[in-house]
């Protein structure tokens, strides 16, 4: 499979098993492919030592640092913690997000809260709400609460 440099399409080579010819098909990039194309492979250096790294620079640096970390260390269950302890000052914005979203809480309170929200959203008056729309609504309601909690 070969990805083009475009952010919207990728070219995929399909090989016919009965012959050696290849058929090239344009397809839309997945969200993950678009994200990986948007972040860089090289660490971005700031020109001044007083300015803080922007979130875009951190995303570019993150990909490079993860590749570097993975080549130097064997992956195990503590890799997540070790990586963020190593790079918490290099990637301060992403480190803050990793602290908040990197672990599963030990209590069932968030899950119970999500079910409570779901029962409120999917009440008798809204019984025509599809499962997909219910899922999206509950996700947004829980996420918005979490985002306001971070800020």
Q: Is the pLDDT of residue 125 over 50?
A: yes
Query: Is residue 75 over pLDDT 50?
Result: yes
Tell me what pLDDT residue 80 has.
Answer: 84
Sign of CA dihedral 8, 42, 65, 105: negative
* Short-list 11, 30, 33, CA closest to 22: 11
- pLDDT, mean of residues 42-62: 65
Confidence of residue 123 (pLDDT cuts 50, 70, 90): low
Mean pLDDT of all residues in 56-79: 82
Q: Are 41 and 63 in contact (CB under 8 A)?
A: yes
Residue 18 has pLDDT above 70, yes or no: no
d(C-alpha 11, C-alpha 17), whole Å: 19
- Check if the beta carbon of residue 88 is closer than 8 Å to that of residue 105: no
């Amino acid at each position: 499979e070969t990805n083009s440099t475009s952010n919207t399409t990728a070219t995929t080579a399909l090989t016919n098993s009965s012959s050696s010819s290849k058929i090239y098909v344009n397809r839309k990039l997945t969200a993950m492919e678009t994200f990986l194309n948007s972040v860089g492979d090289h660490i971005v250096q700031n020109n001044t030592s007083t300015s803080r790294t922007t979130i875009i620079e951190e995303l570019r640096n993150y990909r490079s640092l993860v590749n570097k970390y993975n080549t130097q260390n064997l992956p195990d269950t503590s890799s997540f913690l070790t990586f963020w302890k190593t790079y918490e000052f290099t990637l301060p914005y992403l480190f803050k997000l990793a602290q908040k979203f990197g672990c599963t809480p030990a209590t069932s309170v968030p899950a119970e809260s999500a079910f409570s929200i779901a029962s409120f959203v999917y009440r008798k008056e809204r019984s025509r709400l599809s499962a997909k729309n219910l899922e999206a609504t509950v996700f947004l309601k829980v996420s918005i609460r979490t985002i306001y909690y971070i800020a």
